[in-house]
Amino acid sequence: MDQVSNELSFKEDTHFENVLKMLQFHARTNHNQLSVPVNRTAWVTSPAVVNAYYSRSKNMIVFPAGILQPPFYHPAFPRSLNYGGIGVVIGHEITHGFDDRGRQFDKNGNLQQWWKAEDVSKFYQRASCMLDQYGEYKVDEVGLKINPVNTLGENIADNAGIKISYQAYKTWRETHDEEVTVPYVNLTHDQLFFLNFGQIWCEVNSPEAMLTKLRSGQHSPNRFRVIGTLSNSEEFSEAFNCPVGSRMNPEKKCRVW
Ligand SMILES: [Zn+2]
């Protein structure tokens, strides 16, 4: 700790030097890691960040404290909202271990083929359905379609994540009743589950940010993370009585997991 505080003594009126010190410090810290065993439980994010991630090389899912707050989670929320929020995120991160890249790493995080060739081929047959589906989604404001290859892993994780969490919620409901309701919102708990899933992806982008996201991002724009996932979900259509063949309940549905 002393060494860190000595190296990182900043001054108010030397911003440029402060930045250089910070860069040097990070370079030295990274360089020092070359000679020591890998710390497999170290985080590459800070606790206040509202995000979560899966590390393929450590086979680890990480949920910083920042994401454990509304709209993702609150201890006083009905469970339907929590399962539709943080529950879906947990299911999403677990699924990354079984997406098009995560599947190539074994349980210890080493790049090693551990699936049968037959399973790999079935996996890609199913995944090609999502390539077609997401490749059709266009963001009208910027006139560009989603890149279905770049976003495949995230789309697979979104679709399986909501399925896992919904099943977990139904299992919990077998032995528990919801005691909390949402005032003035006349929806069933199954509907609230999906409502909060939509809520967590609410976002606004400038056209420039949207272009960057479409050209180089690994996530589909949030609007399509919701539409793509829910239009593949039988459970969603049951909860909201969507007629077969309507936009949110197409006959052809994609499913990898
Ligand atoms: Zn993800």
Span 134-181, pLDDT tens digits: 999 999 999 999 999 999 999 999 999 999 999 999 999 999 999 888
- The two three-digit tokens of residue 116, written as one number: 């049968």
User: Distance from the CA of 61 to the center of ligand 1, in angstroms?
Assistant: 10
Output the CA 93–ligand 1 centroid distance in Å.
6
Take residue 7 and report the two structure tokens written for it.
């190296």
Q: Which residue ranges in the chain fall short of pLDDT 50?
A: 1-2
* Residue-level pLDDT at 1: 43
Neighbouring residues of the ion ligand 1, judged by CB less than 5 Å: 154, 157
The pLDDT assigned to 41 comes to 87
For residue 44, what pLDDT is reported? 85
Amino acid type, 173: R
Q: What is the distance in A from the centroid of ligand 1 to the CA of 244? A: 29
Both tokens assigned to 257 = 């997991």
CA of 2 to the centre of ligand 1 (A): 37
- Residue corresponding to tokens 């996201």: 213
Q: How far is the CA of 150 from the centre of ligand 1 (A)?
A: 12
Catalytic residues: 93, 158
Please say whether the dihedral angle defined by the alpha carbons of residues 207, 145, 204 and 184, taken in this order, is positive or negative. positive
Task: Return the pLDDT at 3.
Answer: 53
Looking at the DSSP bridge assignments, the partners of residue 139 are: 144
Confidence (pTM): 0.89
| Dist CA 3 CA 9 (whole Å) | 10
Residue 121 to residue 46: CA distance in whole angstroms: 38
